[in-house]
Chain A
Amino acid sequence: MADNKGILVVGELAEGKLLPISAELLGAGKRLADELKESLSCILIGEKVGDVANAAVAAGADKVCVVEDAQLKDYQTDTFMPVMDKAIAELAPRIVLMGQTSLGRDLAPRLAFKLGVAAVMDCLELTIDTASKAMNCTRPVYGGNARAIFTTEGFPQIATLRQKAGTPLAPDAGRKGDIVSLAVSLDASKIRVKVLETVKEEVTGIKIEDAQAVVAGGRGVGGPEPFSNELLELAKVLKGAVGASRPPCDNKWVPDSIQVGLTGKIIAPELYIAVAISGSSQHMSGCSGSKTIVAINKDPEANIFKEARFGVVGDWKVILPAFTAKVKQLLQ
């Protein structure tokens, strides 16, 4: 398959809109496509997804493939795999990119193994090796303690990109692109995993991934109460959200949906305040993109102080209320 050309991005929607990660992928994909002097395609798969095709073009796609079917309403391995099979056969892309999302985590390896190639997961950076035209993928390994640059053999090269790792292009409504629909006949009897229901865990207030300020607590906070008292109060003053490292979630102090880390949410707020969080690599993977990290921890040797821009060493129970009071006064 030496004739494989171009880059294919698998776009994703939520509530009828292109997800931010998809715009980030299109931005990253466009840069690779320009370097290769090849084109960038985007595939949109779902029950009704054609409405965002123009948004995908504005975000950088030269071509958008729309695949619509009522059976594609929710992501399912057994319905999306035949679609990707057909799309790859028709488009013969050099590179396939997905987000490191529920979909990408599931679909990228499955597709790679089916095609007999490797997927590189959770990448931070994608570049083209000028001589070979192969994609090099940089990703964190050893829980974020190190990074590895991988390249893969065979076509297509498949990678997933971490959320917020790519930079979207400024949307340009004047860009031109081809929008085509791709027909795939799905056989309902081939669906082996049946989705019975999807349960949304509602969060009150600002979603952690949208918040510009996040106040997060760790094991050292000691229990569930501070999350709904001291931490929440500061978050409200900063018009932000409350987050947590993994131990408070595993201890059921807070819902899993606010976990920040490698296996939780990956966020990049303007301000991240880590309260009684030691700063394990797995946690830092979820917040290291924050513009300013502030640490409050009683252990001066805690790893979080190696990652933070500002820090105070001491008992959070004393520091946090005084800090909140002063912030409140300054913001008045």
Chain B
Amino acid sequence: MNMIVCCKQVLDPEAAPSTFKLDAANNRMVQPPEVKPVVSPYDEQAVEAALRIKDKDKTQKISIISLGNGLVRDVVKKPLSMGADELILLEDPAFEGGDSYAVASALAAAIKKVGQFDLIFFGRQESEWDDGQVGTGVAELLGIPSITVAKKVEDIGGGKVRVERIVADGFQVVEVQAPAVITVSNELGEARYATLKGIMAASKKQPIVWKPADIGLDAAKVGTAARKAKIVKLFQPVKEGKCEIVSADSPAEAAALLAQKLRDNKVI
């Protein structure tokens, strides 16, 4: 199978909430120097899902596509060091500022240029806008089926895959004939670490870089210009932060005092 995994470079979502700052005037986030970019965590799990298929048949190929501008090579190369075969970067200032519609349109154009694909993996949602639309959108633009929020993906031969997808209170087992889009959730399990051998191999690989014109798009009609959803306002919700810390001579006494407080405030 030819597999494509779309990975986004994001600012580390595990960074402490106190480091988060907004540039409200420009409706965007400010990157604090101590917060480093990473591959969006669900996207790493999407790479893992593809690698588990490749583990069973080494002839299968995994291509990674990342879109952005000023992408940090050591970050976007991580999927290569985990075991992916090639890296395609859609990298241009014009790609900046897109919404899910703009990003999905560019990715679909790039995937068409790649040409051969059976499975296209995405994380269920990236960790900045948490939109969760790009994978499904690419499927619709390419006219192929999509399976969302997968926790297990198995190649069952004959160009078919069996997928377990999370639904309320359980999961569904579904089957689809490739080509198809699959979005992957954290229930798949942890993504593997990059091996030293993988890191060495990745360091030797050069990413393929495509500009809008390379995928048949007009640079004036991608990124911000291709948005369908406009930001009216970006703001930080005001937190009241009125936590009453209950303390006493010993932790056990503090615990009892807490229970009494809840009772006095009619919480219990």
Contact = CB atoms under 8 A, between A and B. Distances in A.
B204 interface: no
Contacts of B171: 198-199, 201
Nearest to B101: A118
A138 to B, nearest CB: 9
Interface stretch (A48-56, A84-92, A105-113, A179-187): A105-113
B130 interface: yes
B234 A146 contact: yes
A250 interface: yes
Contacts of B237: 146-147
Interface stretch (A25-33, A168-176, A308-316): A308-316
Interface string B101-114: 10010000000000
B-side binding surface: helix, strand, loop or mixed?
Answer: mixed
A195 B259 contact: no
Nearest to A203: B169
B145 to A, nearest CB: 4
Interface in B247-263: 247, 251-256, 258-263
Given A102-B168, A118-B228, A152-B228, A322 B252 contact: yes
A141 B234 contact: yes
A320 interface: yes
A306 B239 contact: yes
B137 interface: yes
Interface residues of B, number: 87
Question: In the complex, which of the residues A74, A311, A318, A326 has the most CB atoms of chain B within 10 Å of its own CB atom?
Answer: A326
Interface string A240-258: 0000001001100000110
Given A238-B268, A271-B268, A310-B258, A150 B239 contact: no
B236 A147 contact: yes
A299 B13 CA distance: 20
A113 B137 contact: yes
Interface of B: 13-14, 16-18, 20, 22, 27, 29, 99-101, 104, 124-125, 127-133, 136-137, 139-141, 144-149, 151, 162, 166-177, 180, 185-187, 189-190, 227-237, 239, 241-247, 251-256, 258-263, 265, 267-268
